[in-house]
């Protein structure tokens, strides 16, 4: 057994040499005479390989499993032509071309050249007009449609990848398969021409052999015209049949392989039996038709026999299907009972989706593609947008209908808890005023859910009027998508988990292994890195530049393990990215500063423990700071600027914690995060 495996392995290793030698041998056969016993062996090889090719085509589950078929088709065509040349040489020189050709000429054809010639013509017509022509057309159409469908398939793969339905490896495999399909069917389109040319060459060779053999027999060998015609015609037609039968097998194999392009479930026999015999009613009708023909005068024995066979088959299939339905129903009922009895059946209910979007039944058209809904595509783009802007890979967003909601309502949940929601009008558009619009638009007053802006629901016929009046008009899907995006950005620190960070670290390790080897787990755990990244995302700092974040942590993790301090060090490393979010086109930064007394108060209120640090400010002073800050925020907003607080690095994180509950969207920067070219303009001071 071991020796056989070794021999097989050696054969695979040397297969390229064997194929190259075989092709060269085919070319040599066209020049050098071949003895009759070798020709008999090669003709047998031709028939054997042709039969193998036919069976492989029938038993393949996928056409790409036989991707070498186009090249093999060319080699087999060359092999048959070399056999034709060798056998023609022997027939014309010796009047004898071996046992196989003689057997076909005398035994199979009964020694009659006319019968042999007619059978040969029938085989050529079957191959050339029926099988080859059909296979050629199918190959041409399949190749064309495969190439036309490539862009759509590529886009589908990209969409599945962005939606998280497949991995990068699966996407690469699918793209490679699409490319292989295009190459295979394109090659088959050209290879089908070999079969067509081979059939034409067979006819020409037979005619030449008959004329040449008749001439040689009469003029050189002094045979009578009848003897020459009888001898050379039988040999020539026998040789043609020996060549055409393998050619017919290969043509049939090519046709089967190409026509099964859309079928990959089982081999040909399994498909035919499952598709022909799984309809008992059709078989019963066929049996009745056969019996009727027998009654009307057709030969009764064959028709009644086949009617009985088909009828019994129909009855058996019907009974089998009924039994399978009963068994399936019983199995489903048993499974339901088992699921009810199982104590583990509640485990699936414990799974909590990180992101959920629940909608009332009136909003289902927004998701239904058949009704023109595009919300699913927008969700895919949201995941892509968050990856580009925030630097995190969102988990799949589960979308479902909720009959307990109002028909036009939707809610957004994070880890099973509702964090936002709104109401939509599916057949309307949301018109939002830019502040410079005319207040004469007719509509239903509402509040835009993402930013809390006043808006109106308007009908489609008012859309153009609203746009001309300066309103920003969006459809309901855009409203939901914008709201979902803002919720994700404001809660990104809750969405990012340890496993997500681990996946990002694994991805970064492929390109920057040194920083990962130094940092994790030697200095920090994955959980500590996750807390730092969550701290950045809490203040809407993108973590896309993960390498800079990890290098900053590696530089400072030996000095401190305090998460807040490490986060501040990382912010300094990302200062350029942070400050770019807040400066205007003139590199000006409009800020609110803290009075030194306030900063000193915060410093004195910092409490240090073994588990970190926190701020404990006197409630009255904290209220004074909040009131003064609120007034400054209102003043800055009226001037058209985003409220930004600039303070000393040591108090930045604590001032942010102090004001986060009252002013969650307030940006707090430190002096260490400023660039030299930034023009800082103070709009006010927070004092007490």
Q: 420 with 412: CB under 8 angstroms?
A: yes
Per-residue burial over 596-634, b if 16 or more Cβ lie within 10 Å, else e, is eebbebbeebeeeeeeeeebebeeeebebbbebbeebbe
The pLDDT score that the predictor gives to residue 21 is: 85
Q: What is the pTM of this model?
A: 0.53
Contacts of 677 (CB under 8 A, 6+ apart): 587
**How is residue 249 written in tokens?**
């097998």
- What is the C-alpha separation between 36 and 169, in angstroms, rounded? 55
Distance between CA atoms of residues 628 and 658, nearest Å = 14
Q: Which residues of the chain have pLDDT under 70?
A: 1-14, 107-113, 116, 135, 163, 260-271, 273-275, 339-350, 435-439
SS (H, E, C) 365-388: HHCCHHHCCCHHHHHHHHHHHHHH
pLDDT of amino acid 571: 92
Q: What is the pLDDT of residue 108?
A: 60
Element (H, E) at 633: helix 619-638
Q: Which own/partner pairs from 587-590 qualify as long-range (CB within 8 Å, at least 24 positions apart)?
A: 587/677, 587/678, 587/679, 588/678, 588/679, 588/680, 588/681, 589/644, 589/646, 589/674, 589/678, 589/679, 589/680, 589/681, 590/636, 590/639, 590/641, 590/642, 590/644, 590/681, 590/683
- pLDDT given for residue 370 in this prediction: 80
pLDDT score recorded for residue 437: 59
How far apart are alpha carbons 124 and 197 in whole angstroms?
12
Query: CA–CA separation, 138 vs 187, rounded Å?
Result: 13
Contact 411, 492 (CB under 8 A): no
pLDDT score, position 555 = 92
User: For residue 393, what pLDDT is reported?
Assistant: 86
Query: What is the model's pLDDT at position 566?
Result: 92
pLDDT of residue 532: 93
């Amino acid at each position: 057994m071991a020796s056989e495996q070794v021999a097989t392995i050696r054969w695979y290793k040397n297969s390229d040499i064997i194929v190259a030698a075989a092709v060269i041998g085919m070319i040599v056969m066209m020049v050098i005479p071949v003895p009759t016993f070798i020709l008999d062996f090669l003709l047998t090889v031709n028939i054997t390989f042709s039969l193998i090719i036919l069976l492989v085509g029938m038993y393949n589950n996928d056409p790409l499993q036989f991707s070498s078929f186009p090249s093999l088709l060319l080699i087999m065509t060359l092999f048959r032509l070399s056999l034709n040349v060798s056998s023609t040489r022997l027939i014309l020189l010796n009047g004898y071309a071996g046992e196989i050709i003689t057997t076909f000429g005398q035994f199979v054809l009964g020694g009659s050249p006319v019968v042999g010639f007619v059978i040969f013509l029938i085989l050529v017509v079957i191959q050339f007009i029926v099988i080859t022509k059909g296979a050629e057309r199918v190959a041409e159409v399949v190749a064309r449609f495969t190439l036309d469908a490539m862009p759509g398939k590529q886009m589908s793969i990209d969409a599945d990848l962005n939606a998280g339905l497949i991995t990068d490896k699966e996407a690469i495999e699918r793209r490679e398969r699409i490319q292989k399909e295009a190459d295979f069917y394109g090659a088959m389109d050209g290879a089908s021409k070999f079969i067509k040319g081979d059939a034409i060459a067979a006819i020409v060779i037979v005619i030449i052999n008959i004329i040449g053999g008749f001439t040689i027999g009469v003029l050189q060998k002094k045979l009578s015209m009848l003897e020459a015609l009888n001898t050379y015609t039988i040999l020539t037609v026998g040789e043609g049949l020996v060549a055409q039968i393998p050619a017919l097998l290969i043509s049939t194999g090519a046709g089967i392989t190409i026509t099964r392009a859309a079928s990959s479930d089982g081999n040909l026999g399994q498909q035919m039996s499952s598709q022909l015999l799984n309809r008992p009613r059709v078989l019963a009708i066929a049996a009745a038709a056969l019996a009727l023909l027998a009654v009307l005068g057709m030969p009764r024995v064959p028709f009644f026999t086949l009617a009985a066979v088909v009828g019994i088959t129909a009855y058996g299939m019907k009974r089998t299907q009924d039994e399978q339905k009963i068994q399936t129903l019983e199995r489903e009922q048993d499974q339901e009972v088992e699921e009810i009895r199982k104590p583990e059946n509640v485990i699936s209910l414990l799974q909590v989706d990180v992101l959920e979007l629940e909608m009332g039944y009136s909003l289902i058209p927004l998701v239904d593609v058949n009704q023109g809904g595009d919300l699913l595509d927008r969700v895919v783009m949201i995941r892509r947008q968050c990856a580009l802007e925030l630097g995190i890979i969102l988990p799949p967003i589960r979308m479902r209908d909720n009959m307990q909601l109002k028909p036009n309502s939707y809610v957004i949940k994070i880890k099973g808890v509702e964090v936002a929601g709104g109401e939509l009008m599916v057949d309307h558009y949301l018109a939002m005023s830019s502040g410079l619009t005319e207040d004469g638009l007719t509509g239903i007053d509402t509040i835009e859910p993402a930013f809390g802006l006043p808006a109106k629901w308007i009908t489609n016929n008012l859309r153009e009027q609203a746009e001309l009046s300066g309103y920003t008009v969006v459809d309901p899907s855009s409203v939901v998508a914008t709201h979902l995006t803002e919720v994700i950005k404001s809660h990104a620190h809750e969405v990012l988990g340890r496993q997500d960070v681990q996946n990002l670290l694994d991805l970064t390790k492929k390109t920057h292994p040194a920083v990962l080897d130094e940092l994790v787990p030697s200095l920090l755990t994955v959980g500590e890195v996750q807390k730092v990244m969550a701290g950045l995302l809490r203040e809407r700092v993108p973590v896309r530049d993960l390498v800079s974040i990890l290098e900053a942590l590696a530089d400072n993790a030996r000095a401190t393990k305090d998460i807040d301090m490490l986060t501040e060090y990382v912010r300094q490393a990302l200062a350029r990215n942070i400050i770019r979010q807040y400066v205007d086109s003139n590199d000006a930064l409009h800020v609110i500063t803290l009075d030194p007394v306030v900063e000193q108060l915060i410093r004195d209120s910092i409490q240090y423990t073994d588990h970190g640090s926190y701020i404990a400010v006197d409630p009255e002073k904290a209220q004074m700071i909040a009131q003064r800050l609120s007034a400054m925020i209102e003043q800055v907003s009226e001037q058209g600027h985003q409220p930004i607080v600039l303070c000393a690095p040591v108090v930045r994180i604590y001032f942010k914690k102090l004001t986060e509950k009252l002013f969650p969207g307030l940006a707090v920067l430190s002096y260490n995060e400023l660039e030299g070219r930034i023009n800082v303009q103070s709009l006010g001071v927070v004092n007490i």
